[in-house]
């Protein structure tokens, strides 16, 4: 406990650190740079969360070059702010426009928008903010508490355990993907296959590069991510002109009344718990949090028929779950060095740019960074609460910017952003190529998210598989003989079987349809 | 349809890895993992093709090629003009961000039928000015900003930053002028459809 407090103190010390910054015309001015970066991150995150069609993956890929300028702690604080800020902003769009700004706020459209129709938009936004804040606080403490023990656990992990853990993560991703399980498996295999492009880890032989020199280092993750999530998303949105149903009614007062608070207190806590636990799972469990929370609240409610016509619990629970999940998904990255989703994979990119190898050693070697980032999440949550409620009017006006003006802007920023990472025009051509591929995949009902996750984990998986087999002298049984590894694989198998059972399948489909 | 693509990709991967050594489980060669993945992918593809034959899927929705083609053209235009790019003997002119930015926005904007020339020009100039200040001035990222010939237009005393800021100012001014001057059309907002 004393440890925990000491560590948090170190974290807050790092965040609140005041450094002299050279401002043009003013000379050096002492500024709490990390707080400023956290603020920028939260603001940008909320902005892209509010705007449908721009996600955190594409934005962080776009902004990676910007982080060259800052020290690693500040850079990661800003990127993290973008991620959880986006979760936060996504709900604003869901409530006001009935379009999920982010994938995780799909459920919020159900009751949130109904509340807005009834003139209670303000209360819905307010409770979403309060729920997110509570969830953020709990999740921050949880990361701080679990960080140290999980890091110790990571030290007993060998290559076999790492491999099995990642297999489990990918199985999770399959189970959580929408639509056909077979298609999700295919996407993961394709992702892992793409990650093997480039020079072989041990022999240095070129694999599947067509003899092209820029492929010998493999496909760049930001390029793939921006293509699949930036460009493909534009192409998809261009297909159907969306009708934006911006709420015309007054937003009303923001602070929920006493009744509202009493009704949503327990859902917030339950949502936080569900979201936090699911968020830790590798394989982007955070996406499932809001769905699980909504289903639970509906089951528990005395009068389930209220759900879908403006029940405040249907906003409070899922909103808390999505924020808690967004934050706890940092745990696998910070402790094990395994990115559980595409955003975290970009964080890995940002860390590597600054020469930090993600994994259990980060906590000891870069203690300031580790705890600073955790503390910044709490600071960020306070900021989100303070900056967002007054800014709602601004977000509403932004939502009225037509898409025909938004997509050329996204397009240009994608091009400039990706070019500034490596200064390679071929990278730009590749985001176009991957964008087209992603678009075709979406049209054929394949989800690009599992592909990206497979790509993210692919290199690590191959490396650990080969290492494990060298250690075991080619015995495949090493994965079953070692208890932790066997346990992880068992979980993976059970999950897959359960997901394939007809009855569960049906209810899984229902969850996603709801 | 999707299944066939997967089978095709798997076949391509198998072909490309054909000359890599397989190795043994004890010491894997570079070819083993990709080949195993390609086989798995191919099997998934076959299964999907099989499933498609057994029960007819829903037909593909109609979609226009305009969006993808125009967007890809815009991306290619940016890639080819940001700096000189040699392609089989032909070298494209390096226009820097000054040329590539507005060009990309202008071409890309026509991906939708609602495009309006004046609006896109203003957007293109404005965004380019913003990108110049953010990426070039504030962050000092190595992006070519304007062609050599353009830089030479300034009197010799000007610093790189000064030229950059002046250019951004000009672009911003042009964007504003385009917005303010010119015939005012009634502003239609098809995106903000009234509540259903």
Q: What's the CA angle centered on A154, arms A149 and A158, to 5 degrees?
A: 155
- Is pLDDT of A201 > 50? yes
User: Angle at the Cα of A436 (from A431 to A439), degrees rounded to 5?
Assistant: 120
Residues A461-511 have pLDDT tens digits of 888 888 888 787 777 777 778 888 888 888 888 878 877 776 555 555 555
Burial of B150 (C-beta count, 10 Å sphere; 0-12/13-18/19+):
middle
- Asked which of A93-107, A151-165, A312-326, A422-436 is least confident by mean pLDDT, the reply is A93-107
Chain A and chain B share a number of CB contacts under 8 A equal to 212
**Residue B165 and residue B112 in contact, taking contact as beta carbons nearer than 8 Å:** no
H-assigned helices in A158-312: 159-176, 181-195, 221-226, 232-239, 258-280, 288-300
Question: Of the candidates A410, A228, A428, A439, which has an alpha carbon nearest to the alpha carbon of residue B65?
Answer: A439
The C-alpha of B153 sits at a distance from chain A's nearest C-alpha, in angstroms, of 25
pLDDT in tens, A207-221: 777 767 777 777 888
Report helix, strand or coil for B88.
coil
Measured between CA atoms, how close is A300 to chain B, in angstroms?
A: 32
Do residues A130 and A141 touch, judged by C-beta distance below 8 A? no
Give, as one character, the DSSP assignment of residue B28: B
For residue A158, the surrounding DSSP H or E stretch is none
Distance CA A509, CA A512 (A): 5
Q: Which residues numbered 55-114 in B keep a CB inside 8 Å of some CB on A?
A: 60-61, 63-64, 67-68, 71-72, 74-76, 78-80, 82-83, 85, 97, 100-101, 104-105, 108-109, 111-112, 114
- Closest CA–CA distance from residue B155 to any residue of chain A (Å): 24
Q: Within an 8 Å CB–CB cutoff, is residue A471 touching chain B?
A: no
B81, closest residue in chain A (CA to CA): A425
Within 8 A of B34 by CB-CB distance, chain A residues are 193, 196, 207-208
| Chain B residues touching residue A455 (CB < 8 angstroms) | none
SS3 string of A345-382? HHHHHHHHHCCCCCCCHHHHHCHHHHHHHHHHHHHHHH
More reliable by pLDDT, A441 or A179? A441
**DSSP codes, A98-148:** SS-SSGGGTTHHHHHHHHHHTT-HHHHHHHHHHHHHHHHHHHHHHHHHHHH
Residue B75 and residue A411: Cβ atoms within 8 Å? yes
Maximum Cα interatomic distance, chain B, rounded to a whole number of Å: 75
The pair of structure tokens assigned to A53 is 């069609």
Helix, strand, coil percentages (3-state) for chain A, rounded to 5, are 75, 5, 20
pLDDT score, position B192:
39
Say yes or no for a CB contact (<8 Å) between B13 and A208.
yes
Q: Is A397 on the interface with B (CB under 8 A)?
A: no
Task: Provide the β-strand partners of residue B28.
Answer: B23
Task: Name which residue leads in pLDDT, A254 or A197.
Answer: A197
Element at B132 (helix H, strand E): none
Of the candidate ranges A318-327, A399-408, B97-106, the one whose mean pLDDT is the lowest: A399-408
According to DSSP, the β-strands at A206-207 and A19-23 are unpaired
Residue B90 is given by DSSP the state E
Q: Which of A512, A421, A490 is nearest to A167 (CA)?
A: A490
On whether the CB atoms of residues A347 and A383 are closer than 8 A, the answer is: no
Highest mean pLDDT among A249-258, A434-443, B8-17: A434-443
pLDDT tens for residues A99-121?
776 667 778 877 877 787 777 77
- d(CA A1, nearest CA chain B) in Å: 42
Question: 3-state DSSP call for residue B87?
Answer: strand
B185 secondary structure, DSSP code: P
- A514 — pLDDT class (breaks 50, 70, 90): very low
The Cα A236–Cα A260 span in angstroms is 38
pLDDT digits (tens, 9 = 90+) for A296-310: 887 777 777 777 777
Identify the pLDDT of residue B193: 38
Rounded Cα–Cα distance for residues B180 and B174 (Å) = 10
In a structure prediction context, what are the per-residue pLDDT tens digits for chain B, which is 196 residues long? 677 778 788 777 777 777 776 666 666 667 777 788 888 888 888 888 777 776 655 555 566 778 888 888 888 888 888 877 776 667 777 777 888 888 888 888 888 777 778 888 888 888 888 888 777 777 777 777 777 777 777 776 677 777 778 888 888 888 888 777 755 554 444 443 333 3
Q: Which of residues 271-300 of A touch B (CB under 8 A)?
A: none
Q: What pLDDT shows up at residue B89? A: 64
CB neighbour burial string for A83-102, b if at least 16 within 10 angstroms, e if fewer = bbbbbbbbbbbbbbbbbbbb
CB A108 within 8 A of CB A319: yes
Residue A245 binned pLDDT confidence (cut-offs 50, 70, 90): low
| A160/A480 Cα distance (integer angstroms) | 9
Chain B residues near residue A200 by CB distance under 8 angstroms: 20, 30
B193 versus A368: the higher-pLDDT residue is A368
Other residues' Cβ atoms within 10 Å of the Cβ of residue A321: 37
Alpha-carbon radius of gyration of chain B: 25
**Residue A403 corresponds to which tokens in the numbers above?**
């898409």
| Pairing verdict, β B85-87 and A206-207 | unpaired
What pLDDT, on a 0 to 100 scale, did the predictor assign at position A220? Answer: 80
ipTM over 0.90: no
Copy the structure tokens of residue A216: 């010998």
Q: How far is A2 from chain B (nearest CA, A)?
A: 41
pLDDT at residue B194 in the model: 35
**What percent of chain A shows pLDDT beyond 90?**
0
Pair B105, B124: CB distance under 8 Å: yes
């Amino acid at each position: 406990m004393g440890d925990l407090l000491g560590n948090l103190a170190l974290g807050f010390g790092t965040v609140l650190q005041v450094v002299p910054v050279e401002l043009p015309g003013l000379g050096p001015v002492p500024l709490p740079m990390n707080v400023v970066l956290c603020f920028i991150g939260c603001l940008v995150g909320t902005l892209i969360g509010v705007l449908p069609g721009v996600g955190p993956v594409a934005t962080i890929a776009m902004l990676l070059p910007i982080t060259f300028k800052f020290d690693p702690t500040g850079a990661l604080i800003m990127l993290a702010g973008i991620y959880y800020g986006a979760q936060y902003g996504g709900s604003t769009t869901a409530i006001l426009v009935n379009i999920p700004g982010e994938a995780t706020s799909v459920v919020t459209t159900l009751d949130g928008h109904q509340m807005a129709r009834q003139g209670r938009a303000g209360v819905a936004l307010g409770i979403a903010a309060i729920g997110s804040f509570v969830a953020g606080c709990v999740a921050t403490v949880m990361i701080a508490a679990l960080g140290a023990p999980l890091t110790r656990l990571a030290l007993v992990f060998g290559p076999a355990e790492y491999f099995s853990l990642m297999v489990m993560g990918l199985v999770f991703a399959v189970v959580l993907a929408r639509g056909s399980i077979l298609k999700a498996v295919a996407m993961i295999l394709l992702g892992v296959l793409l990650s093997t492009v480039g020079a072989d880890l041990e022999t240095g032989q070129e694999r599947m590069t067509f003899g092209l020199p820029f492929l010998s280092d493999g496909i760049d993750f930001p390029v793939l991510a921006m293509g699949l999530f930036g460009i493909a998303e534009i192409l998809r949105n261009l297909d159907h002109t969306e009708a934006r149903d911006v709420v015309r009614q007054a937003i009303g007062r923001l602070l929920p009344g006493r009744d509202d608070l009493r009704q949503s207190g327990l859902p917030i806590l339950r949502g936080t718990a569900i979201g936090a636990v699911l968020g830790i799972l590798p394989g982007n469990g955070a996406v499932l949090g809001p769905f699980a929370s909504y289903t639970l609240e509906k089951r528990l409610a005395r009068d389930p028929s209220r759900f879908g016509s403006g029940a405040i619990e249907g906003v409070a629970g899922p909103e808390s779950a999505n924020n808690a999940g967004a934050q706890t998904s940092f745990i696998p990255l910070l402790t094990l060095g395994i990115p559980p989703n595409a955003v975290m994979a970009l964080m890995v990119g940002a860390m590597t740019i600054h020469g930090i190898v993600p994994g259990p050693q980060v906590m000891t070697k870069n203690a300031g960074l580790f705890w600073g980032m955790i503390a910044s999440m709490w600071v960020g949550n306070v900021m989100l609460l303070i900056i967002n409620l007054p800014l709602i009017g601004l977000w509403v006006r932004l939502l009225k910017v037509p898409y025909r003006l938004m997509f050329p802007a996204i397009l240009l920023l994608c091009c400039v952003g990706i070019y500034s990472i490596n200064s390679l025009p071929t990278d730009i051509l590749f985001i176009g190529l991957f964008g087209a591929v992603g678009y075709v995949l979406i049209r054929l009902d394949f989800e690009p998210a599992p592909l990206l996750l497979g790509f993210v984990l692919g290199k690590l998986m191959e490396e650990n598989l080969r290492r494990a087999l060298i250690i075991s002298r080619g015995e495949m049984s090493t994965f079953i003989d070692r208890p932790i590894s066997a346990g992880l694989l068992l979980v993976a198998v059970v999950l897959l079987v359960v997901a394939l059972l007809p009855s569960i399948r049906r209810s899984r489909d229902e969850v996603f349809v709801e | 349809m999707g299944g066939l693509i997967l089978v095709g990709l798997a076949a391509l991967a198998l072909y490309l890895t054909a000359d890599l050594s397989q190795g043994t489980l004890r010491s894997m060669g570079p070819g083993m993992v990709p080949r195993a993945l390609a086989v798995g992918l191919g099997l998934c593809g076959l299964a999907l093709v099989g499933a498609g034959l057994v029960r007819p899927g829903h037909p593909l929705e109609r979609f226009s090629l305009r969006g993808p083609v125009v967007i890809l053209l815009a991306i290619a235009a940016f890639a080819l003009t940001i700096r000189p790019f040699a392609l089989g003997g032909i070298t494209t002119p390096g226009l820097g961000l000054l040329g590539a930015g507005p060009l990309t926005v202008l071409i890309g904007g026509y991906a939708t039928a609602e495009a309006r020339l004046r609006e896109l020009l203003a957007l293109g100039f404005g965004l380019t000015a913003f990108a110049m200040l953010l990426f070039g001035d504030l962050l000092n990222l190595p992006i070519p900003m304007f062609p050599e010939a353009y830089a030479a237009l300034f009197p010799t005393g000007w610093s790189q930053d000064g030229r950059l800021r002046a250019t951004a100012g000009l672009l911003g001014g042009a964007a504003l002028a385009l917005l303010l001057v010119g015939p005012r059309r009634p502003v239609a907002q098809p995106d903000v459809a009234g509540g259903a």
